[in-house]
Amino acid sequence: MFDLVSRLSQYNNLMWSGSLETLYMVAMSLFFAIVLGIPLGVLTTITRSGHILPNKYLNFILDGIINIGRSIPFIILMVAVIPFTRMVVGTSIGTNAAVVPLSLAAIPFMGRVTDNAILEVDNGVIESAQSMGASPSQLVFKVLLPESLPAIILGLTLTAISLVSYSAMAGAIGGGGLGDIAIRYGYQRFQLLIMLETIVILVVMVQVIQRIGNLIADSFDHR
């Protein structure tokens, strides 16, 4: 009886630590997606032809960065950036190491989401602000971002959900988290119960993230 309780406690601790590791990887990668991805998307939009700061050369470069970043399958990206990961965090395994490829995947994704969200802002609103003498920085921070914020939040929610999936994939190369548990215990040791529980936890995570994202987006939607 004592042995069974001990095994159940160890099992619960394993799933709890795996869940925390997954949330850590998603949160850190989402942070970098916000800090770097949103500005990338804003610059891509405003440098388009006919927008507030048209620059076809800069736009070509920024748009190319987003397209290239989004075209690389994540499993290939993880392996390709291993030398860079080692240089940044000193190792290629573990949760901190997994944050590097996760962030590199999330940044261009969030950049495109932001670009598309800002493009949906009504030109009449932009022209009205310009007619009142608004500077480019004022247009960005007082018109474009506030008007597109609900769509950006929904895009951020989609990015977070994608990162949950990617973090599970990172377990294939020792990235930690629920994906690592599913592979090491569920697949390699043929423990179907662990495999099923990791799936259930990941599904619950996605549902909670989607629900929270929808509520936040609705609270900022003034339409």
pLDDT in tens, the chain (223 residues): 444 445 545 666 778 888 888 899 999 999 999 999 999 999 999 999 888 889 999 999 999 999 999 898 888 888 889 899 889 888 878 888 889 999 999 999 999 999 999 998 888 888 888 888 888 888 899 889 998 999 999 999 999 999 998 888 877 776 777 877 877 776 666 677 778 888 888 899 999 999 999 999 888 776 5
pLDDT of residue 210: 94
Whether residue 1 lies inside any domain: the answer is no
pLDDT of residue 186: 67
112 phi and psi angles, rounded to 5 deg? -70, -40
Whether residue 174 lies inside any domain: the answer is yes
Whether residue 5 lies inside any domain: the answer is no
Whether residue 107 lies inside any domain: the answer is yes
Reported pTM? 0.87
Q: Contact 178/206 with Cβ under 8 angstroms?
A: no
CA 187, CA 160: separation in Å to the nearest integer? 25
Q: Contact 210/54 with Cβ under 8 angstroms?
A: no
pLDDT of residue 31: 95
pLDDT of residue 27: 94
Structure tokens at 214: 């929808």
Alpha helices in the chain (DSSP H): 2-32, 38-46, 56-71, 74-80, 82-89, 95-119, 123-131, 136-139, 145-170, 177-181, 192-220
Whether residue 9 lies inside any domain: the answer is no
Domain that holds residue 200: 15-220
User: Is 133 strand, coil or helix?
Assistant: coil
pLDDT of residue 150: 92
pLDDT of residue 66: 94
CA 180, CA 168: separation in Å to the nearest integer? 7
Structural domains counted in the chain: 1
Residue type (1 letter), 29: S
Query: Which residue bears the tokens 């573990």?
Result: 94
Diameter over CA atoms, the chain: 78
What is the domain-level CATH number for residue 212? 1.10.3720.10
Whether residue 67 lies inside any domain: the answer is yes
